[in-house]
Amino acid sequence: MATHLLLNKRLILRSAGLAACAFTALFLVRCSDGDSAIFVKEPLPYSQDALAPTISTETMGLHYDKHYAGYVKEANALIQGKGYGGKTAEAVIRMTADDASKAAIFNNAAQAWNHAYFFKCLKPEGGGAPEGLLAEMIDETFGSFENFKAVFLTAAKDQFGSGWVWLVLDGETLAVITGANADTPHAHDLTPLFTVDVWEHAYYLDYRNRRVDFVKAVLNNLANWDFVADRLEKALPPKE
């Protein structure tokens, strides 16, 4: 009887620990159980058909369940036994960004993080123009929201090959940047605010080679400016 009770107690404690890890996950978990999985496949904040017709259900299914899931799985496999246990994904990205011998880890880690963030930058019936501090800083940096969109679309058009277009915070200033393949603002000490995936898997089924049309449709119909504004306010230093 005593042994049975002890086993039950251990199972309860184990379950409570796993529940705590799941509860604290935003984009990934940080449970320091040796080399436990750092990256998790985050649940979408909407159903896979919720972004249609801008992004079709078929595209979302392939993007989320195949591409994103593949990066998460591969990133966790590559870091096993390499001493990354207890690190955040951002830390793994920074530790491997400029090391050619760790390119595979960086590529999969950054892609897992980028995708988790991209999906949170979208919402059904999104788009329109941002408000508040985000709108003020966009006007200050780009002259107007329309000018910002023009800069963002030009960056998407000019990005050669696969990659990402980002609105980032550089110190206390906004900027639009692009990154090839898995490149991410975390590798350059920049704070990501908003992004659109311009790998072909993100749009080709719906838009064929019309990448700019895809990015424009995301800006107009799906951009989650509330999420972006919240990220901006948390990233800026508090005003005195």
User: Helix, strand or coil for residue 172?
Assistant: coil
Q: Which of 124, 49, 126, 34 is nearest to 86 (CA)?
A: 34
What pLDDT, on the 0 to 100 scale, is given for residue 240?
A: 67
Place of tokens 């993080």: 113
DSSP labels, 32-83: -STT---B--PPPSS-TTTTTTTS-HHHHHHIIIIIIHHHHHHHHHHHTTTT
Q: CA separation (Å) from 87 to 31, 74, 76, 184?
A: 9, 17, 12, 18
Q: Which helix or strand (DSSP H or E) is residue 116 part of?
A: helix 103-120
Domain regions of the chain by residue span: 25-43+54-120, 132-235
Q: 25-43+54-120 is classed in which CATH architecture? A: Orthogonal Bundle (1.10)
Determine the pLDDT at residue 43.
97
Instruction: pLDDT tens for the chain, 240 residues: list them.
Output: 433 333 333 333 333 333 333 333 344 443 334 446 899 999 999 999 999 999 999 999 999 999 999 999 999 999 999 999 999 999 999 999 999 999 999 999 999 999 999 999 999 999 999 999 999 999 999 999 999 999 999 999 999 999 999 999 999 999 999 999 999 999 999 999 999 999 999 999 999 999 999 999 999 999 999 999 999 999 998 876
According to the model, what pLDDT value does residue 54 have?
Answer: 98
Q: CB-hemisphere CA count at 13 Å for 167?
A: 28
Model pLDDT, residue 239: 77
Separation CA 154–CA 158 (nearest Å): 6
Give pTM, 2 decimals.
Answer: 0.85
Task: Select the CATH number that applies to the domain covering 132-235 from these four: 2.40.128.260, 3.55.40.20, 3.40.50.300, 3.30.300.30.
Answer: 3.55.40.20
Please check whether the two domains, 25-43+54-120 and 132-235, share a CATH topology.
no
Give the angle subtended at the CA of 133 by the CAs of 144 and 119, to the nearest 5°.
Answer: 85
pLDDT at 27: 46
Residue 193 zone, left/alpha/beta (φ > 0; ψ -120 to 50; rest): alpha
- Position 213 scores a pLDDT of 98
Compute how many other C-beta atoms are within 10 angstroms of the C-beta atom of residue 208.
11
What's the number of CA atoms in the CB half-sphere (13 Å) around residue 221? 12
Q: Are 71 and 111 in contact (CB under 8 A)?
A: yes
Task: Give the Cα separation of 196 and 31 in Å (integer).
Answer: 29
Please give the Cα distance from 217 to 97 (Å, whole number).
Answer: 31
Residue with tokens 């989650």: 224
